[in-house]
Amino acid sequence: MFKIAPSILSADFSKLAKEIIDVENGGADYIHIDVMDGHFVPNITMGPIVVEAIRPITKLPLDVHLMIQNPDQYIEAFAKAGADYISVHVEASPHLHRTIQHIKSLGVKAGVVLNPATPVDMIQHIINDVDLVLLMTVNPGFGGQSFIPSVLPKIKKVKEIADKNGLNIEIEVDGGVNSETAKLCVDAGANVLVAGSAIYNHENRKKAIEALKKF
């Protein structure tokens, strides 16, 4: 069975604790936290202080997606704040191996992220070292965008590499996931689906999560 990681980017920030408890009670597997810096992506969201505030609210693993330039500078702060996974974009990490080792040295699971136009070959030499590969199915920056189907063959490719090499990694997709596109992603090999608007735009989060889980 695949996992659902609600993105709190689409939650009501004035009631963040309630919004997190709601999805935990509704069957979420991870809490996905979108960190944006206004440089790597055009939007600005939250930093380690928010992760620290969320940590005691939920037992679910905190899946921190860094959409920031110079992620190395902030990895320690996010680890201390209680992140369970920290994922960095290959496009923002010139010393990817060092960055991944840094995350792991802090006892945190490490992920790499590929933008829709970045080829899977970019992670060929790091895939053995990571716990998670995140494939963006929209260009990062905002919730509520449309799914880019040309990413599907990339999901398949990552799954094939993982199987061929006996790698026990999470294959996560992020952006435009709804009850239709969820099936396409899972069929291609994804086992963690991030969903923001498909969950938080609905009053009943439990029903929204169930709709994503059964297609």
Q: Is position 65 annotated in a ligand binding site? A: yes
Residue 189 binds which one of ligand DX5, Zn ion, none, with CB within 5 to 8 A depending on kind? Answer: none
6 in contact with ligand DX5 (CB under 6 A): no
**Dist CA 78 CA 54 (whole Å):** 12
Min CB(166)–ligand DX5 separation in Å: 29
Examine the residue annotation and report whether 63 is marked as an active-site residue of this protein. Answer: no
- CA 36 to chain CA mean position, Å: 13
32 in contact with ligand DX5 (CB under 6 A): yes
Min CB(196)–ligand DX5 separation in Å: 3
* Among 26, 174, 184, 190, interactor with Zn ion by CB under 5 A: 174
Question: Could you say which of 34, 37, 63, 131 is catalytic?
Answer: 34
Min CB(7)–ligand DX5 separation in Å: 4
Query: What x/- string results for residues 47 through 76 when contact with ligand DX5 is judged by CB under 6 A?
Result: ------------------x-----------
- Rounded CA Rg of the chain: 16
The closest of 127, 33, 159, 125 to 86, measured between CA atoms, is 33
206 CB neighbour count, 10 Å cutoff: 15
The residues near 61 (Cβ < 8 Å, ≥ 6 apart) are 29, 30, 31, 84, 85
* Among 69, 70, 118, 145, interactor with ligand DX5 by CB under 6 A: 145
**Dist CA 167 CA 176 (whole Å):** 27
Write the secondary structure of 75-106 as one string of H (helix), E (strand) and C (coil): HHHHHHHCCCEEEEEHHHCCCHHHHHHHHHHC
> Which residues are known catalytic residues?
34, 174
Site residues (CB under 6 A) for ligand DX5? Answer: 7, 9-10, 32, 34, 65, 138, 140-145, 174-177, 194-198
